[in-house]
Amino acid sequence: MEKKFFGRFNIIDIILFSIIIVGIIIAVVRIFGNGSGGYEDAEITAVFVTDDFRSEVLPYLQSGEELMNEANNSVIGRVVSSEVSPDGVLSVKSYAEGAKLEHGIMLGNTTYFIGSEVSIIAGDAVFDAYLSDIELIIK
């Protein structure tokens, strides 16, 4: 004679029911993600590069200066360093808290990919550049 718990269920029924529920939860999480929308918070260092800039922009690219996307006024990050190579290429390294997406990164409310072109505001200056490198520090 089997021992019954909780009315009409025995211990084997409860174990099988639990296994089925856990399997359903795992399947739902795999299908629909973990609820974060594919985002993973990250500290991001991004390098923007251009060979088409005016020298008047350089004083606005000091460490700590805020960088913004001209198209939507969202913050891209803060200048970590900037340098002009001997062949005239300006490289601006910035730091921001953002999100790592399945493809690309999100800074502010804008998604960026390697090669993304953007008009960047730094202080009273603006210049066009493209994203050439991304480094992530996952939180």
Question: What is the model's pLDDT at position 33?
Answer: 56
pLDDT tens by residue, the chain, 139 residues: 455 555 677 888 888 989 999 999 888 877 765 444 556 788 999 999 999 899 899 999 999 999 999 999 999 999 999 999 999 999 999 999 988 887 889 888 889 999 999 999 999 999 999 999 998 876 5
Handedness of CA 39, 103, 138, 94 (dihedral sign): negative
> Which element (helix H / strand E) includes 122?
strand 117-122
Statement: the pTM of the whole predicted model exceeds 0.85: no
Instruction: Enumerate domains of the chain plus CATH numbers.
Output: 1-32 (no CATH), 40-138 (2.40.30.110)
Q: Which residues are CB-neighbours of 26 under 8 A, at least 6 positions away? A: none
Give the distance, in angstroms, between the CA of residue 70 and the centroid of all CA atoms in the same chain. Answer: 19
DSSP state of 36: S
Instruction: Kindly state the tokens that stand for 23.
Output: 């399997």
**What SS3 state is found at 16?**
helix
